[in-house]
Amino acid sequence: MSWSAARMTERLSTPRKRPCAAVILGAGKGERLKSSLPKVMHLVAGRTLIRHVLRETAKLKPARTVVVIGPGMDDLAREVAPLETIVQKKPRGTGDAVKAARDALKGFAGDVLLIYGDNPFISEETLRALLDRRSAKDDPAVVAVGFRPADPLRYGRLVADRKGRLQRIIEFKDASDKEKKIGLCNSGVMAADGRRLFALLDAIKNDNAAGEYYLTDLVKAARAARFNCAAIERPAEEFIGIDTRAQLALAEAHMQSRLRRAAMEGGATLTDPATVYLSADTKLGRDVVIGPNVVFGPGVTVHDGAEILPFCHIEGAVIGRGARIGPFARLRPGTKIGRDAHIGNYVEVKNAILEDGVKANHLTYIGDARIGAKTNVGAGTITVNYDGFGKYVTEIGRGVSIGSNTALIAPIKIGDGAIVGAGSVVTTNVPADALRLERSQQTTVEGWAAKFRHRRARETGKTPVKAKG
């Protein structure tokens, strides 16, 4: 049998006019992952598996999107909201899961995409190619997506006749020796004619050892009804199976490789790419420089020319043009760093706005705050924002100097141009251009330390340490 790549990736020359819908299968428990989470709720690059799928599906602007979930999967329903969710009450196979969407797709006569929610690498291009093949003149009732993995042993095979028409999908364990030599494997992703889909699903039998209705038998049912079926071939990297924690880790590594490559192609410098971890939504501008061992959580935007030094952890933050972060800095959600600002080593910022040119270079915590442009925050400064009951805001004006080892007890306001002396505990507002200073009276007692050491030596029997050589 010969598969023509051109035939299998056939696309219509005219724009699609037929609407499409999507059924996303997310009811799997992922028992091999040994987790209380639904399988599709596990993360790759900071985004749930099903969110990756929905993001690509949404690019097609489907008329309807339905997510099939299992009983008690309330977290999953919230994750995909406001999309409609349908509960598959009993785990009776993938074919039965699609049946659960019957009422949601009632009267829909377009093309229906059938997609597994644990497939984070599926692309818009593949889904469009699938729909285009469904629209071809030979009017296939079902179109399946095939791929050629490096190790095909555990996958089902797509079996076609001499003309390349898909005849059936056969599981590896049921395949003959000849069928096992077929290189094209089943991805599980399909498109079907919405007018015929549910009648074909009703024709599927559950006469197998598991007593389940398999979606792969949709092709068999369509051929029995004398409908054409077809297949397209897409890149194997889009169909990495995720059934175990080890496979989840491999998927993460593959996604990170994709994201790093895209970041560098977009104009960012990653000095040691293998040690930088990005989220699926990380946005890096041109001429951004990322040092080794930097981790980006979800929701980060870094503007042009900023530099992230080694060993930083950043999530939910916006970093302005030309800013310098780290090393060993932590930016938490709600943080906005202005142009040319400096955030240095062992500085943590949470839910705070630091305007252009602010510097906080050492050992500082800034939380629930707004800091005006060109302000300098000394080492050891803390915004004391929590009293055990509520969070309170610290407002610091422009051009302020905050001395080292200062505690700012929120809620509090520091006016423009003010200076706060080192070691101060500030509990009330400071006017603009004022000096706020807290100093306890210092007393010196000559010779006291030597006398103390000798007294303790007599009491303990230990030899006192000599203060001078």
Task: Name the residues annotated as catalytic.
Answer: 362
409 DSSP β-pair partners: 384
CB 294 within 8 Å of CB 278: no
Retrieve residue 179's tokens.
Answer: 């069928």
Peptide bond connecting 327 to the previous residue in cis, omega within 30 degrees of 0: yes
CB 403 within 8 Å of CB 385: no
Exposure string of 363-398, with b = 16+ CB inside 10 Å and e = fewer, is: bbbbbbbbbbbbbbbbbbbbbbbeeeeeebbbbbbb
Count CB atoms within 10 A of the CB of residue 115: 27
What are the φ/ψ torsions at residue 327 (nearest 5 degrees)?
-75, 165
The alpha-carbon radius of gyration of the chain (Å, integer) is 31
Strand (E) or helix (H) holding 69 = strand 64-69
DSSP 186-215: EEEEEEEETTTHHHHHHT----STT----T
Distance of CA 105 to the CA centre of its chain: 30
As a whole number of angstroms, the longest Cα–Cα distance in the chain is 106
CA distance 333 to 196: 48
What are the φ/ψ torsions at residue 193 (nearest 5 degrees)?
-70, 120
Locate the DSSP E strands across 322-375.
324-325, 330-331, 335-337, 342-354, 359-371
CB 228 within 8 Å of CB 163: no
CA distance 34 to 120: 20
In the DSSP assignment, the letter for residue 171 is: -
CA distance 314 to 336: 11
